[in-house]
Chains A and B, each alone.
Chain A
Amino acid sequence: MYTIAGFQVNDAQTIDQHVNQLKKYFIIRGGEERQETWKLSDTFDWRLYNRNLILKRIHHHLALVSLDNSKFDIRQSIQKDIRYVWDLPDGKLKQQLWSILEERALLDIVVDDVRVKTIVVLNELGKTVTRLSIHRFQPKMNITALPESYILVHALQGYKDESDQIVDQLKTQGLHQLTSSLYAYRLRNSDREPGLYSTKVNVSLSDDLPSVEAMRRIFQFLLQIMKENKQGIIEDIDTEFLHDFRVSLRRTRAGLSQVKGLYNDPLTRHFKDQLKKLQQLSNRLRDLDVYLLSKKEFARMLVPDLRPYIDHLFGRLTAEREAEYQRVMHLLQSDEYQNILTTWEQFVNKEYTVEELGINAGKPCKTLAMERIYKSYRKIIKMGKRITDDTPDADIHQLRIDCKKLRYLMEFFYSLFPQKEMNALSKHVKKLQDYLGKYNDYSVQQTFLKKYLDEHHDRSKTSYYTAAIIGGLLEHLYHEQKTLRSAFHSIFRDFSDKSYQKQFNRLFKL
């Protein structure tokens, strides 16, 4: 059975009239009415909605369904509430959802109480050929509001023609046909605008806008993301709220340091320091989150005999993460840290005095963007060329940070340059950035594990196994990193290729 059409009934009182009208042409049998509670779930960042899907839960039945009227439908019975993909029993649904949701939690977007009545249409043999379901959604807040009502037409395989006739008849009766599935309509009742969340800087600028105004809009955008994620961090819904918060904070700091001369030096320095302090607060918490999420990956690095003991290490990390989370939450909600974001917000929204502004504040933003992006790009080329096999890791990490800064600058000013070329160049920089990011991950992980070994050495059996695990991981990470390092020159040769240099020059050289 699959839904082929839906109709909205503006006045619930007229539903019976519409059914009676159908009885003139078709054999109709009424069914019973039942009460259901519908929960439509998605992640905070609308991962399902953006793929035109939604997860529907009615009592113990879970179904991944399409938001258009396609047949797509993966079902699964559940015993308990599902928050993360790993709570699901193994099966097709888990497999499908894992690739989409990853570590993100499912949130109830809409919870609806609905009365559903099914009626069937029979052929001359008494065989059911079409089902209709009448949905009366109970109003939530406003008790005087009328319930919203819908009639859905469901086709049975092999009886599409019969269902089409019903659809035609309902159209003739003047009902308003839905253009997408009923779920899409219900999502409109959500507190949040469906699909409207992205950490990607999406600010449209014009060439001559003074730089300080252009950056104001960008900072406002980033601040909004930080604010939206705050509640999720406090409730510890999943790890990505903190991640998104931190990414927006880092972008803000890059904006302050890279787009120079927007404000006077003491002000710039003040906010740079303050925001840095806010960022550092959650450094270790984020690190621990990343380690806990990569348990499977770590297990794969070990020889099979050691794999079962990885729980020792991760048990301790989980406890540490909990303690760290408590510490961060306590500070994050303290006046000292709350003030950082509130003063920054006030500053970003205020009218500046001449004294507060820096030397580039009035410069057209496109000019400043070109200057900064070009300079940032040349710096990377220059640094990369100096890297030999003997260059210390610290220099490689510096290159990674500069690469990130270049990416951020290109994101801020994306709207000022031709889209197609910006996309291609962004992708090009991302390749190098990903490589350097991976290299850096290996370094950070090794440092973390070595430090962990230093700090946790009692004579318990657990410590004994944990040490063996760490030894195994260090060995693996060391070799992986070494292999990665040997690829640097070929990766950088691609990055600094003449054709790309020309493209950068053409777009950004003044």
Chain B
Amino acid sequence: MISFALYSIKGGVGKTATAVNLAYLAAAQEGPCLLVDLDPQGSTSYYYRIQPGKKINSKSLAKGKSNIPHFIRESDFEDLFVLPSHISYRKLDIHFDRIKRSKKRIRELIADIGRDYQYVIIDAPPNITLLSENIFRGVDFVVVPVVPTYLSLRTLEQLQNFFNKQHISLKKLVAFFSMVDRRKKLHRAVVEGQDETENAFLPIWIPFSSAVEKMGATRQPLLHYDNQSKAAQAYHQLWDHLKHRFVT
């Protein structure tokens, strides 16, 4: 089992769209895959048309209780399972703060529920809190979408500094450019400036695309209804690069 989180300090960078489409590919190509929606906005769950069960709450999740499989929902697609988000996850930090050994908790949780899956993919909440830190420690890789602006690059740097300070291996960190608009001079400059030099970046970028934005209306992964668009092809390439990174 390989686990990775989609993470960004900033919102609106295409994080959830990436999680939704990568999970779709992982399940189709590699077998059972669990997509964990820890973002309290619940967009991932929304895209897969999944509502949480009634009794799910952040306290039981933080405690790592074994009833979590009970909350897992099978998606419309073979081998793809979703642990849906819940508005109460906004309180997860508080619960993690209270429990002992909280730093290891997410890792134990992933190992426990991940046993039946080839991949566990976490759509992580966009902030740096104790919960995010636990996710960084718990997963094998942290995949960061970066919009090609200098401000976004700065937030990536901040994240790298945070990893260093917390003694979390930088090798876990994988970045790629997201929502790239080739018409913008700035985007081109940033993407081209990073390609060769920064090894955290995968040599692939996801274009800004109205096809991706349509996901909100269709409530399906882009790859399901439009496998040919440029963005869809880019997700395919991103997934191939990530798989390569995971095994090497």
Contacts and interface: CB of A to CB of B under 8 A. Distances in A.
6 contacts: A126-B49, A126-B219, A127-B49, A127-B50, A128-B76, A158-B53
Name the interface size band of chain A.
10 to 19
Interface in A138-158: 156-158
Interface string A270-289: 00000000000000000000
B42 to A, nearest CB: 13
Interface of A: 1, 120, 125-128, 156-159
Nearest to B32: A75
For the complex of A and B, 6 pairs with smallest distance between CB atoms: A158-B73, A127-B49, A156-B74, A157-B74, A125-B49, A128-B76
Interface of B: 48-51, 53, 71-74, 76, 78, 81, 219
A51 to B, nearest CB: 22
A1 B78 contact: yes
B51 A159 contact: no
A156 B72 CA distance: 10
Contact of B74 (A1, A125, A126): A1
B76 A157 contact: no
Contact of A159 (B48, B74, B78): B74
A159 B49 contact: no
A156 B48 CA distance: 14
Contacts of A126: 49, 219
A503 to B, nearest CB: 49
Contacts of A127: 48-50, 76
Contacts of B78: 1
A157 B49 contact: no
A159 B50 CA distance: 11
A370 to B, nearest CB: 57
Nearest to B81: A157
Contacts of B73: 156-159
Contacts of B49: 125-127
Contacts of A120: 76
Given A1-B78, A157-B81, A125 B72 contact: no
For B50, B51, B74, the residue with the greatest tally of chain A CB atoms inside 10 Å of its CB is B74
B160 to A, nearest CB: 38
A120 B49 CA distance: 15
Nearest to A2: B74
A166 to B, nearest CB: 15
Contacts of A158: 53, 71-74
A127 B82 CA distance: 13
Given A156-B74, A159-B73, 19 more contacts: A1-B74, A1-B78, A120-B76, A125-B49, A125-B51, A125-B219, A126-B219, A127-B48, A127-B49, A127-B50, A156-B73, A157-B72, A157-B74, A158-B53, A158-B71, A158-B72, A158-B73, A158-B74, A159-B74
A157 B34 CA distance: 12
Contacts of A125: 49, 51, 219
A126 B74 CA distance: 14
A99 B98 CA distance: 48
A120 B74 CA distance: 14
Contacts of A128: 76
Contacts of B72: 157-158
Nearest to B77: A128
A158 B51 CA distance: 10
